[in-house]
Structure 1
């Protein structure tokens, strides 16, 4: 077919007039859809203000084996119909570039002597520039190592120029598109094509081991497809000898295996810049995540000898880093100031070292990481730093290092995991440390005891309360014996002991313990987060023992102290304290004030989430929203309370198991909100399922288990099932009286609801006696204006009226309505219900323990 007879570019089924040296298409090519589309868009673009013939070169760069050449090949095949010329030039050797361009001359109809390469190259570049005889051309320079290798050889004109390279230095010369490893979905899809019958789980494990590197996956897939070896056997071989496995099964379209590719680059770096090789060897002992370059510059404070001199010289360090990027041995991200080495490269480097060299490199990394420790995991401002350190601390095996500062770093990282809500990860690392450190130093080693204390906290947060109790009790005893009762570490563990008691329903014992604990914290820590935690626990204890005014006073003092300590309202602990203050305002009967405070805390919390200081599903975030859902309803906003209760419960289901007490509390809040909005069927379903789980989670005799029977009774009453409602309330009353005593607020609440059931069952005299006694206790315990006192008074006045004691009923009713309107306002649903002569009830909202 002659050049002149070729159809217009873009015609369906059309082939280029000139097609040269393009490798055979990869039938297993997978994914990269977005990159192909983006590459096409970029190649079709023109520079702003440029002429119609201004070519925009595109360089595709990335690690060796990441699939740059494969992407360029696939682009050439997919868009072949758009071009008159598609010409592939191997650019890995400078001498071949000119020869590759010169070979295009006769295909363009240019008459140049075969032995005059320079003349042929000049003629080809001129023809491409002019677009004669073809305007629509694609030239690919494959594997152009450095920009200098193409100086004077990049064609200009109306066509497209595509370059593949391992070097990131192209970023400063042309438009670039970085190609990363496969996504996990792409890896699994590729292996599914390459290895018939492979299971998704096996493909996922294989991709994880090989770091989603396309070339390594191709080699692994080829070996399995040709030999029939399974995933488990392959991974076993890989674990035993990664270097040998990654040297097998060369890919037809790729000249080297993974090992050879990276060995060539490593050897070149060693010749060009020995310091770069030393840097690379240490990178092999970090995690596969990006490594902050500041870690190395600050490493000068931890290391000795030549490596210290090297790290102290910022120019040499920068030069070595550039060299690693130049040979694609590391991914350099200048905007984030990080470098990253692929996990397979790390493995191959480690395997090349002698045992003594590996130990020395690994220990250097431990010391470098230790210097980077912010040493304050309680401070949310340090969490990003710990997040960056975490992967490297684990991957480098800091847990095995016996250096005291390294152990402190590991403790701080696990404490960060606890504070930031990564409980499962924290438990895994805590177990790892306890096992190894106990072998090294014994069970009474201070670091072992500290880690046991943190593990107890983690167990508690995951709802494994019995395990937390059984671990913390002997840990605390050992600390008191070995470190002393007033040692900082002892007090930190002591602070969790009260939580263990509360979760067992021993509210009074927890109060006594925390009343002793707070002065010790204040004496040892002064103003410090651990002191604030102790004060917070004491406020919880006061509330659980019906001392709401004292709880509110304590919480307000703690909130103000935190605001001063952190210098404002926008710190995580300050916002959390504000929400806890709102809860105590509600429990003290200040419903409207509590709602306003809770709304403020919720807004501040959302701002923290938007700024990345907290994440949406962090337990503190959910607790703040949970508090507001209750406070809205108590303040009379039933619809608003229900909307938020649904949202919060949905989020709890995403992070906690069905029997976790925080999720159960959220379910009860949702059930109560549904009942308030008369969505009775949904309320019954939600509350009934939750009540049974409370007994399983906290124990059959826990006050919360009994208290939630009260909620079930209320929905049964709403269904007009008075007999079952009364039976449930009598059962709850017996349990609350037994566990908390007859004059506890929860017990009195239950009596008031039972009085309603008794009255509606026809025994008004018994209900009146119950109401009279309970009202006296409420006034003494909560004061005359607390909404719970007013609920009791409202119901009592109705029983008096039914018994013919109208004068007493009228006086009490008038006084109660007057107080109600002053406390909650005239439009509050409870006030309106009371004015309409309805009986009122209490639900039970389990506070955080």
Structure 2
């Protein structure tokens, strides 16, 4: 009972047996006298130990003094007359209270039924006897829980100390059966709030943190409704800023909540002080601080805890990091079955026509929609409210959501949804608190698949795949490229200083790779602290919720820019993984599969050719090597279609794509389909050789695949070479690339001169002419030699940059040209070069920037 005795109730005296002064050594007589003369109620706790047995002489005194005692409680007679007596002083407290007709409240630990005592045990027998009398009984988890129950059960004994009603201030009614999938978490929260602390006056602070829209506020409100009878008051205040928290605490003094005299004061500070004073003098309350989502609000809330005593504070927040006085509990999304059940019940057809349009396969559509929304409570509630209001089917809503319909993303009705905002804007407050580096990273990750992203794809150490930039020079180079891409993206789009690791004196203390890793890791940590990503430390992965990604993509002002950045990031990770047909590289390839497929699909829909075709081809090669031919074939076909559209039907890059598809058809025994593709591939490589004077690096391996097909088709060995020669010499004009250059970049200098000047060194090194270079053969070294050393690498975007890159290869030098132009354009107040319309050729600008280049006749 220490928990009760230490509460500040000036007019209440709580007496414990151990504190009673025994008269003449007769403890039973002292107990009897106190209970009869001074006690209004007895709080009797029944535990596993019963205490010290009665002495025989005190039993005789009891029976002599109260002749009807044994008659009123006949079941006690055997225990009283046993030698020695089998009743204890502690047990007699309850029997004396009952004999004197005092209020007797009985409590036992909540674990009693799970771990009962043997049937003949004195305490088990004692409890069974007490149960026969029908007195008030209850269970408790710990001292804090017992304190609240006692104060609630006996409040009418001290009306001046504890109000007879329970102040209740909650923003929403209970969801009832619509509140699904949270039973285990509610039990965890209840256990956490009520576990013993050893200090009854201490505030038990807990925070439920998680992604915005995951259902933190709803869970806190439902918890309060389910356990309101355990508290002397249940109070809710919005605490999204220190100012709002102070104002809302002050409003608790008002007539609808605590109804304190200070409610009439014009000063907010007086009202707030009165509310805090009430809390500190009326123990057993629950206070919910909602939406503590900023560092300033969190700091103020933690300071508030030090000024409160005698209750429990439950905080809802998007912040994951808290001080020692607050225990964080992370709330995750709903499981798929619970989310589907919620959608079905929320949209059930009702009288009057409201509700969804029912279809026979609603159950399947509910599961599909729950999966698409990934269990995010706000998105599920918004979907349910929209479907019910619009009287549409679950299938119809699913189609609209997958089509990125802005109406379903932004639709919001406060009265029906009981949420403060729609899913489209629920993360806006968090984004406003993040720096440009964090927002840039989040916008890039929005174009990854909603699957775990391996840290090595972000240039960070990853134990599982042995990626360690600190130990491996090649890994360090990749890490620095990725970090530079991220830093410059943040700096350019927000006109901010690029985030980078540095020493305290402003001088860089680490290598570029280490500094980049440190800054990237800090950005990821910040996003994790704000619950915008989930960081699985053991797995070395991070994940962004699919609904967050969907909303970010739909609200980006320059989505193609961010997609291009994601493609470059994935491309770097893909190069890092190694050759996809080498089984030793598969541990790195596997976690990239979903992200390559997602980004490449989005790029195809946006008509981004490079590096989309390369990504698709490499992924197809991985699936081919794993004998996943059904998955690999559509990727090969998509890559080939992109290459043909980008380079024309006779480009060597197209020949490589033809070989990949034909080889897949060959190994799946579709020889008739494969042969025309091989024949066309051979012709393209041959004409490229005739034009450039050199064989393409992929020519001989591809022709060898063609030989295997001819052999499998039954062509005699002596005829195979003749068939190859015939195929290679198939007539057909090459599409000249110069008109394409002029169409995209304009007919003036210096672009033709640049290409011509590059042609000669390529011929000397026995490489194909520059205009037939595949994407895997960058021309950076030669272009840099011609145009000067690299400056800085910046992300490219549609439309001009992608075309320039298609023509010159995915080389950093292409970026250098554009970067230099961009600086000049900024100085002249012009828009960035990569947003020039195609109708405005950039050749004059290149000429102006680089100076005249001596015209060289193309070979």
Q: TM-score, normalised by structure 2?
A: 0.49
Query: Greater relative contact order: 1 or 2 (C-alpha under 8 angstroms, separation 6 or more)?
Result: 2
Q: Give the number of the structure whose alpha-carbon radius of gyration is greater.
A: 2
